[in-house]
Chain A
Amino acid sequence: MKEIILWLFGLEEEALSDPTTVAGIIASFVVIAACLAVFITLIVKGRYKINRFGNKVWQRTKLITQGTWFILTNSFMVGWFKGTIYQGKLKYMCVPGMNCYSCPGAWGACPIGAMQAIFDEFDATKSWYDPETHTLVQPPLYWVAFYIIGFIMIVGALCGRFICGLLCPFGWVQDLLYKIPVKKLKLPRDERRINASKHPGAVRFFLGLDRALRYFKYAFLVIMVIFLPLIVSANPWFCKYVCPSGMLIGGIPLMSMNESLAAQAASLTLLKMSILVSLLVISVFLYRPFCRYICPLGALYSLFNPISLYKYGIDDSKCNRCKGCHACANACPMGIDPVKTPNNPECIRCGTCNATCPQKAIHSGFKFKTADGSAIRTRKNKNN
C-alpha cells in the first residue's frame, strides 16, 4: 500500500518523515473524494440533463462542474502546501484542458505545453556547428508530435469542444468573471435585432471584426505552438510569451509560495502578467476572449466539433424558428446560431442554448434519435 502511494505521489520513502508531506497526501485523498462526491451527486440529481431544470440551474451546475474538475485535476495538495510541483509518473499523461503542468497541484500535463516540449527535443547526433553564424544547429528530434496529436484526436473525436465549455480551468475563470454584473459587449445576431439597433452599420462592422479575430487562434496554433518551436528555436513560444493560464495557475501560486522564484521575476513576468490582467479585465465584459481569439487548444478541438461522437442536434419538428423565435441564438454567449449550425467549430458546448430553448428542441449527447424516435438534425441548415 505504502509503495503504491509513494509511486502515485512521485515521492521517496524519506518524504514520509515530513509532516507537511503526509498532511498533503491525506488532504489530496480527501479533496479527490469530495470532488467525486460532487460529481456523483450532480449525476444522481439528474443535473446533467441540461434542459430539465432550465438555464439558471444549468449555469450553476456548469460552474460547479468546472470548479470541481479544476480542483480534482489540481489536487496534489503536497504541491500546494510546499510550493513545489508533482513529479510522479501520472505526468506522462495530459489533462484535456489548458491546465499548466507547473501548477503546484497539477497531476497531468497540458497538451499544448507537452506538444511544444516534444518539438523542443533535438537530435544530438545530427547537430552541427555553422561557422558562418557561429551557432550550433540542432535539428528537431520529432517533426510530428504523434503522442499529443493522438491524445487530441481521441478527446476531440469523443466530445470536441465540450472540453472548453466544461473542463477547462481558464475557461472557468473567464466564466466566473463574466458573472460580474456590468454592461456586456454582446452583439445581436439576427437581422431583425441588428436593424432595430441604433447603429446597425457599427453592429455589422463589429460582427465582422469578431468573426475575423476568431481566426487568430489558428494563427497562434500554427505559428507559436508548431512553427517557432520547430524551426526557429527550441523554446515553448506560446507558453513563454502568451499563455495566461500558466501565469495564473502556475506562476502566481509558485512565486507567492517560493521566494527564490519570486526574486527572478523580470520583464517577461511583466509581459505575461500584463497579458493575463488584460484578458481577465476583458473577460468581465466580453464572454471568453481567450477562447474566442487566442486558445490554440480550442483551435485544435474546434476541428473535431462537426465530427465528434458527442454532438448537438436540432429537433426541427419542435423548433419555433419559423415563428420568429431566436431564443437560442440570442442566449449563445459565443455568438453562434445553433439552429443554423448546431455543431459550429466555435461552439464550446456550454449547454446554454440547450437549457434556454423554450421548445426543448435542442438535444446534446451521443444518441442519433430522440426518446420518441424522431430524427435530430446535426448538420447545417441553410433554410434558417
Chain B
Amino acid sequence: MKTESKFLRYGIPVIVLLIGAGFMIYGATDGEAFAVLKKAVAICMECIGLG
C-alpha cells in the first residue's frame, strides 16, 4: 500500500503555510492590503455590471 511519508503529509503543507504567512506579511507591509481595502470599501461598478 502506498502511504505518504510524514514529511510529505505534514512537512510540505506546513512549509507552504509558513511561506504564505510570510508573503501575506510582506504584502501587507508593502501597501497591498491598503490597495485591497481601498477597492473593497467602495461599490465596485465593474463587479456589479455597471462598468
- Bound pair (A, B): yes
List A residues at the B interface (Cβ < 8 Å).
10, 85-89, 91-92, 94, 100-102, 108-109, 113-114, 117-118, 120-121, 141-142, 145-154, 156-158, 235-236, 239-240, 243, 246-247, 250-251, 254-255, 261, 264-266, 268-269, 271-273, 304, 307-309, 311, 316, 368, 375-381
Residue numbers in A under 8 Å from B2 (CB-CB) = 377, 379-381
Report the separation of the CA atoms of residues A158 and B12 in the bound assembly, to the nearest whole angstrom. 11
In the complex with contacts A113-B40, A147-B23, A157-B17, A246-B48 CB distance below 8 A: yes
Report the separation of the CA atoms of residues A218 and B16 in the bound assembly, to the nearest whole angstrom. 21
Tier of interface size on chain B: 35 or more
Tell which of A91, A146, A243 touches B26, judged by Cβ atoms closer than 8 Å.
A146
Nearest-neighbour CB distance to chain B for A343, whole angstroms, equals 10
Contact B47 A251 (CB under 8 A): yes
Contact B21 A154 (CB under 8 A): yes
Interface of chain B, main secondary structure: helix
Pairs A–B under 8 Å by Cβ, sample size 8: A87-B41, A100-B47, A147-B24, A150-B23, A156-B16, A156-B20, A255-B48, A368-B6
B24 closest partner in A (C-beta): A150
Residue numbers in A under 8 Å from B45 (CB-CB) = 264
Docked complex: B1-24 residues within 8 A CB-CB of A: 1-4, 6, 8-10, 12-14, 16-17, 19-24
In the complex with contacts A89-B37, A91-B37, A368-B9, A265-B50 CB distance below 8 A: yes
Residue numbers in B under 8 Å from A86 (CB-CB) = 41
Nearest-neighbour CB distance to chain A for B11, whole angstroms, equals 10
A152 closest partner in B (C-beta): B20
Contact A102 B43 (CB under 8 A): yes
Contact A236 B19 (CB under 8 A): no
